[in-house]
């Protein structure tokens, strides 16, 4: 049994298009550009363009928060395949099937369907802890700390 784990960072190359299979499973097929670490003989960095596929929650996440040019970190596995093109030639494919994705952009990312208006502290806390019950507000003077 072998080990097939790939980790990479790069930039999304194309506009993100969320599609659904006949079974209504979300999927995205895209490409990431990965700049090589070392310069070539011309003193330039070469770039590899790697096909990626994201399924289910990862696809929905990238669709909601990512965009063309987003800097991402991915981990997953390499899958190879083949098909016969219209000329009858066998075409071989290689892609990374993404298990995990993280956006590395410096700007805070807002989902495409969310507002970008700032929220006050109480709204943020209520949203963050909405599944944990009511928030108890206390000021620093009401805390009985030993220091």
Residue 91 half-sphere exposure toward CB, CA atoms < 13 A: 7
Residue 65 half-sphere exposure toward CB, CA atoms < 13 A: 17
- pLDDT, tens digit, 9 for 90 and up, residues 21-76: 999 999 999 999 999 999 999 999 999 999 999 999 999 999 999 999 999 999 99
What residues are paired with 90 via a beta bridge? 84
Domain range summary for the chain, segments of one domain joined by +: 6-105
The pLDDT of residue 115: 56
Tell the residue number behind the tokens 């990431």, with chain if given.
32
The pLDDT of residue 120: 55
Closest by alpha carbon to 68, among 20, 30, 107?
Answer: 30
The pLDDT of residue 135: 46
CATH number for the domain formed by residue range(s) 6-105: 2.40.50.140
């Amino acid at each position: 049994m072998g080990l097939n784990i790939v980790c990479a960072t790069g930039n999304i190359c194309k506009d993100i298009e969320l599609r659904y299979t006949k079974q209504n499973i979300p999927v995205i097929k895209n490409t990431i550009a990965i700049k090589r670490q070392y310069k070539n003989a011309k003193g330039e960095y070469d770039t590899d363009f790697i096909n990626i596929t994201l399924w289910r929650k990862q696809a929905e996440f990238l669709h909601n928060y990512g965009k063309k040019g987003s800097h991402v970190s991915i981990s997953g596995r390499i899958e190879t395949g083949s098909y016969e093109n219209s000329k009858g030639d066998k075409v071989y494919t290689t892609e990374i099937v993404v298990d995990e994705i993280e956006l590395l952009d410096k700007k805070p990312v807002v989902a495409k369907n969310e507002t970008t208006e700032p929220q006050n502290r109480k709204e943020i806390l209520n949203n963050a802890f909405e599944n944990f019950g009511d928030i108890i507000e206390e000021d620093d003077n009401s805390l009985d700390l030993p220091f």
